Amino acid sequence: MKNAVIICEFNPLHVGHKRLLDSARKAGAENVFCVMSGSAVQRGELACLDKYTRAKHAVLAGADVVVELPAEYSLSAAPQFALGGVKAANLIKDATLFFGSECGDISMLENAAYTLSDPEVNERIKALVKEGAGYPAAVAAATGNDLFSISPNNVLGIEYLKAINDTGRKISAYTVKRESTPDDDAPKGYPTSSSLRKTAFEGEKIDPCFVPSYVLGDIEKHPLDDTAYFSVIKYILTAQNASNVYDDTEGLSNRLRNAAASSVSFEDFCSSAASKRYTRARVKRLALNTAINNTFTHKELTDKPVSFLNVLAVAKGKEDLLSDISVPLAVSRRTRAPFADEFATTDRADKLFAAARYPVGDNTLFVKR
């Protein structure tokens, strides 16, 4: 395996992520590339730390190169999130997509991915989602496969493999087994990123055994608080009638507008807007997509190519690996200028992060390990 590619968010990076990076090396990877979400992440939130800092953490934890997943993909549902990551991975020479899964069996996951390519199965999934089922539950019901219903990493892995099939199988895939406890999805001895963010939001100290010291130090520099973010969201949702926003459906944007108008906090807003039909993750994604005016459709995300990659961080001494990427690269504002149209949605997410969290530099980091 020459180049392992890990699609990730590292929001924040914890010891379980470090284990995944180490596992890629143990599996024989000469180099490790990460395709990482930027300022906006798939759960519909601003990241806990800026994208360059999180990319630096990835390099310190063992990655060689970290490139950015465009915001229109990082803020989409699982199939488009996976598709965007695979499109980026396809641009790296001699790439093997490397990911963790609960089952640890690539053949089982590949068979499930082929099932998802059946048009009739997809129609059943769409109908169940429309009736209010969450996506994993809808897929499990439509396929009769428990890999989908109880195992979120299996679900994402299957979406990766389906995306590889849909894009012409230019890359191979390898999975490593995640060991989970019976009562939650955290690997034994490892936290989830969501549990770490919850701890940070509540103003409590994160246990140093859960995250590397360089991650813990940066989290402590930038305490999590969504007050400013909610002020921006509330203003945008109530002051204008957004249209053609990604994944909006009739009535949902009105529901969000009414919830924002009557809410006094982001948590209050999420609780008011979410329902059995509209999950909290979908509500948060739509709110954030509205804020950054992400008007891409599912079809556009499926059809459009990734024409350049924004480089977030590179390990010093590994700069030659950038030649393994087959599209133009951006390492600064100047080198991104020719791709302003393609970068527009991501740029708006960055500006929102700077306004609601803290100012951020925008040049590639060359990190000494």
pLDDT in tens, 265-309: 999 999 999 988 888 999 999 999 999 999 999 999 999 999 999
Average pLDDT over residues 26-30: 97
Query: Residues 249-269: pLDDT tens digits?
Result: 767 888 999 999 999 999 999
pLDDT greater than 70 at residue 26: yes
Q: With pLDDT > 90 as the criterion, what percentage of the chain qualifies?
A: 74
Instruction: Report the distance separating Cα 248 and Cα 142, nearest Å.
Output: 23
Q: What is the pLDDT of residue 250?
A: 66
Task: Name the pairing type of β-strands 40-41 and 45-46.
Answer: antiparallel
pLDDT greater than 90 at residue 99: yes
Q: Are 173 and 97 in contact (CB under 8 A)?
A: yes
CA 354 to mean position of chain CA atoms: 19
Omega into 12 within 30° of 0, i.e. cis? yes
Q: 69 - beta bridge partners?
A: 37
Q: For the beta carbon of residue 244, count every other beta carbon within 10 angstroms.
A: 10
How deeply is 125 buried, as exposed, middle or buried, from its count of CB atoms within 10 A (0-12, 13-18, 19+)?
buried
Query: Residues 176-209: pLDDT tens digits?
Result: 998 654 334 444 557 889 999 999 999 999 999 9
Q: For the beta carbon of residue 131, count every other beta carbon within 10 angstroms.
A: 10
Three-class SS state of 63:
coil
Query: Residues 323-349: pLDDT tens digits?
Result: 999 999 999 999 999 999 999 999 999
Q: What is the pLDDT of residue 181?
A: 42
Q: What is the pLDDT of residue 179?
A: 65
Q: Are 354 and 44 in contact (CB under 8 A)?
A: no
Bigger pLDDT: 149 vs 186: 149
**Residue 128, CA atoms < 13 Å, CB-side half-sphere:** 17
Instruction: Report the distance separating Cα 310 and Cα 314, nearest Å.
Output: 12
Three-class SS state of 64:
coil
Indicate whether this model's pTM tops 0.85: yes
Average pLDDT over residues 126-152: 76
